[in-house]
A and B are shown apart, each in its own frame.
Chain A
């Protein structure tokens, strides 16, 4: 029994395990319950490419092998959000996502959230990729699930502040426009906020500790800025996957925030982990 618990604790020491488990659960939910087109070959392609490219860089840069988990998270994120016409588009998205971590770096951190950049580049470069914001439906149940499970993940990682700041700011702006200004009922507002894609973004994408400011205050300000840009994009330009575009636009500001507000650099594996080496694996 004790061995089990120790093994379990070891498992929980790395926040990425949680993220992998939960995102995999959502993927199963999408395929098994929501009836997405379960083209397993396509998912295999995304995972194979992401892990393959990561393995290449692990070799080349001599990184700890455990960084395959980050590639796994990226592959899951892509599978959950990105739709593509041809398989090459998926390969492109997964490759650019992982490679961006090694080529677009500043001050020891990569600049863009890999999954986020992969989606945007695939959409811009090929025109063959898209995001289906409506694919999750808007069941209140799902809201609770994604919210609760997501909170759990970010609580582990210690970056629930990002989710709260982003969602809070986005909800407030939408409330001001939809309910206070336009005069729609609150159900219209809630319907907007209960989009599964928005919550997935809130809890699993924007919270990536490697591409967000280190200092807590800076992080909150930055998250609210992402919310404001997303709000403006969806309102003024009718962009539906607005948070994804907003995050790409504001990610380059993270180094700037880090420069002015110093904070403790995030480490995937908690420093008090009993049996693991104490280095950070930032990739």
Chain B
């Protein structure tokens, strides 16, 4: 059971339009590492405009739907119109558009003329809009100290908005009414209650689900106005050891969304990696992410994508695109209400954040801010195919020699990024050397030795500590009083 929520304010931010990046030489998109790779993950769409927040929560619940229950702390009592059902395809769409990508380039044959390749873009029709259902439910809960502020039926969900006076009553009420909350939930229910949060609690209405004709549960979307801009991850943490992944797709008018109480760092990008990664790209990105996450001390939020995606913006949308860019209707479905053709100067900025969190490293809920930062970013990995054809001309021979070393560097990069033991792929480098005549082959440097680096620790803070301690010692040495020097005598 995952629980998510909302919000915060930035002091007077004004949009600054991105100037766009220089048109880079585009490659073909060949694979992507989308969010479905990660088990135990959740996905959230966050739209933030001033103090208005729209949160769409994906639902990948796998068990029997009648067991499904969700409790989300929200800062205000939501009205019926503030709750909608979104289409699950929206998540797939945003995910595939912003996922870390693998691109391919092709070397030209130095002995022959060159070819250029360009990126692919396509349009797809907008997704169908959601349906709604409505029904009122009434219950008595006063004896628990719990007030039912509102009851709604939206689509296949029965929804209650609760407020409570203290956590024991709320916990008991939830348990008695079939909401399976984690044993440690009381730790956070009290702080939430005292912070004046309400509880958005959801169960599946089986009749409505059957009537809807949908087999799976659809995403729920809520909207409200409040200065808080945060996601309450604590309620979803069942124990101290388990880690879970969350991918956040955030949209703002001004620029990137960043976390304010944890570091927001970029995943490594624009790395040249060996061709054989193509068949293993999913595993490659998973391992790369895990390694980066450990290296950053297991408590950073990772930026995977940041781009101006304004529908009528003239700049380059992606380099290359791994999926068709979102359309107006999809922005509207996600809760972006300022885009559209008529909107003057209204920019839509897309930030994708990936956070792997656990109780020990993430004691506090995630808090965010909207920044004016419009710098583009994407997680992108590059494959370069060797030139084809006859390479017997002298440029061709030099090319092969360079290729040999380049492949060595690609292997090194792969080992650094993922921690893989790449010695099993040695032939990838050797096959190039074998194409050279014996005298040149023998002159090559040894095929890059270990192909393996020790796993990284923290972000190298110990080295910094050592440096600073040294500096302090030197300073202390100089600061000691000089024994024989009389004042004014120097």
Contact = CB atoms under 8 A, between A and B. Distances in A.
Interface string B361-386: 00110010101111100000000000
Contacts of B490: 6, 274-275
Interface size class of B (residues with CB under 8 A): 35 or more
A25 B487 CA distance: 33
A261 interface: no
Contacts of A136: 263
Given A182-B194, A274-B487, A133 B372 contact: no
6 closest cross-chain pairs (CB), A and B: A8-B478, A127-B14, A187-B363, A182-B191, A183-B190, A137-B263
B10 interface: yes
Interface in A104-138: 123-124, 126-130, 132-138
Given A123-B11, A134-B301, 6 more contacts: A136-B263, A192-B261, A238-B8, A239-B9, A245-B11, A274-B490
Interface in A238-283: 238-240, 245, 272, 274-275
Interface in B434-490: 458-465, 467-468, 471-472, 474-475, 477-479, 482, 485, 487-490
Contacts of A5: 477-478, 482
A163 B323 CA distance: 52
A87 interface: no
B373 A149 contact: no
Interface in A175-193: 181-185, 187-188, 190-192
A12 interface: yes
B445 to A, nearest CB: 29
A128 B479 contact: no
Given A9-B482, A141-B461, A130 B10 contact: yes
Interface residues of A, number: 59
Nearest to A12: B479
Most buried by B among A6, A85, A139, A188: A85
B472 A149 contact: yes
B410 interface: no
B406 interface: no
Given A9-B478, A33-B464, A130-B369, A240 B260 contact: yes
Contact of B9 (A11, A83, A191, A238): A238
B487 A185 contact: no
A27 to B, nearest CB: 12
A85 B373 CA distance: 6
A185 B11 contact: no
B271 interface: no
B468 A35 contact: no
B363 A191 contact: yes
A61 B57 CA distance: 61
A9 B476 CA distance: 10
Given A33-B460, A138-B262, A182 B478 contact: no
A149 B16 contact: no
A29 interface: yes
Contact of B479 (A2, A6, A9, A142): A9
10 contacts: A33-B461, A35-B459, A85-B374, A127-B12, A127-B14, A133-B260, A137-B296, A139-B461, A185-B363, A191-B364
A152 B482 contact: no
B266 interface: yes
A18 interface: yes
A184 B482 contact: no
B373 to A, nearest CB: 6
B13 interface: yes
Contacts of B228: 238
B297 interface: yes
B88 interface: no
B375 to A, nearest CB: 8
B18 to A, nearest CB: 9
A65 interface: no
A195 interface: yes
B261 A133 contact: yes
Nearest to B15: A127
A21 interface: yes
Interface in B259-314: 259-266, 296-297, 299-301
Given A8-B478, A11-B478, A134 B264 contact: yes
A123 B300 contact: no
Nearest to B463: A33
B16 A85 contact: yes
Contacts of A192: 261, 364
B475 A18 contact: yes
Contact of A130 (B372, B461, B474): B372
Contact of A182 (B190, B227, B261, B266): B190
A25 B372 contact: no
A34 interface: yes
A137 B262 contact: yes
Given A145-B468, A274-B490, A132 B260 contact: yes
Interface string A1-42: 010111011011000001001000100010011110000000
Contacts of A191: 261, 363-364
B210 interface: no
Contacts of A124: 11-12
A183 B194 contact: yes
A171 B265 CA distance: 27
A168 interface: no
A138 B299 contact: yes
A183 B264 CA distance: 27
B134 interface: no
A238 B227 contact: yes
B325 interface: no
A35 B458 CA distance: 12
Given A126-B14, A185-B363, A134 B259 contact: yes
Contacts of B261: 133-134, 138, 191-192, 195, 240
A12 B478 contact: yes
Contacts of A35: 265-266, 459
Contacts of B262: 134, 137-138
Contacts of A195: 261
A83 B364 CA distance: 24
Contact of A135 (B263, B460, B467, B489): B263
B374 A34 contact: no
B326 to A, nearest CB: 24
Interface in B229-269: 229, 255, 258-266
Nearest to A123: B11
B373 A240 contact: no
